[in-house]
Amino acid sequence: MFEFTRSKTIGTEKREDGIFLVHGFLDDNVYTIELDLEVKTPEFTIAGARGNMKRYTTPECPKAPSILNDAVGIRIGGADFETKIKKLVGRGGCRHLADLFIECCNAVFPALIQTQWKEARSNGINKDDFIKGLVNKEPKIRDRCITYSREGELAKRLGVSW
């Protein structure tokens, strides 16, 4: 029998003005938390953040989302991004809300790639050519992991280098 379970669901939509709306939902044995983020691209800055603690453990917990106003203007990414959010949203509010916040922020880059892939596919571009183009124009993806490393099998197969 599971002693503990946690589910996190993230959904993204792209508004016509280029702002990504990210909806996050966390549900576990102890907490239920909702979060809505607005993220401006290509700057990747937080343009808006609203949260709601639906199930929690102390009377102080529902006050935690008020800290989200202080996150507006923060740029997603960079070596200290998670530390910054854990301190601001976690220690200042709720660490589970911070966990969901980071999860939502991490969804913005793949959301951007998804919109680019959708457009490329509709223009008849195949997946390998799309990945080649991605590696060439998105420094963020280069050496992000072993698959997208310059020494990796993918780079060799597609004949790309950087």
Partner 1 sequence: MVQTVVDNRILGYTKNMHAGAENLDNGNTAARVRVDDTFLSAELEMEFKLPDLKIVSIQGRIIRSFAEECKNNAKILQRAMGMRVGSGITRLVKETIGGSNGCNVFADMILEGCNAIIMGFTVDEIDKQLAAKTDEGYEQAMRDMLENNPRVASCIAFAEGNELRKRLGV
The secondary structure element, H or E, covering residue 130 is helix 127-137
Distance CA 139, CA 124 (A): 24
Q: Identity (one letter) of the amino acid at 17? A: D
- Burial of residue 103 (number of CB atoms within 10 Å: 0-12, 13-18, 19+): middle
- Selected from 43, 119, 129, 153, the binder of partner 1 by CB under 8 A is 153
Q: Six-digit token pair at 40? A: 């401006």
Considering only residues 79-138, where is the footprint of partner 1 by CB under 8 A? Answer: 90-95, 99, 103, 107, 110-111, 113-115, 118, 127, 131
Question: Any contact of residue 1 with partner 1 (CB under 8 A)?
Answer: yes
Is 161 among the residues that bind partner 1 (CB under 8 A)?
A: no
Q: In angstroms, what is the minimal distance from the CB of 35 to partner 1?
A: 13
Measuring CA to CA, which residue among 67, 107, 73, 108 is closest to residue 90?
Answer: 67
Q: Which residues bind partner 1 (CB under 8 A)?
A: 1-15, 28-30, 57-61, 63-64, 67, 90-95, 99, 103, 107, 110-111, 113-115, 118, 127, 131, 143-149, 152-154, 157
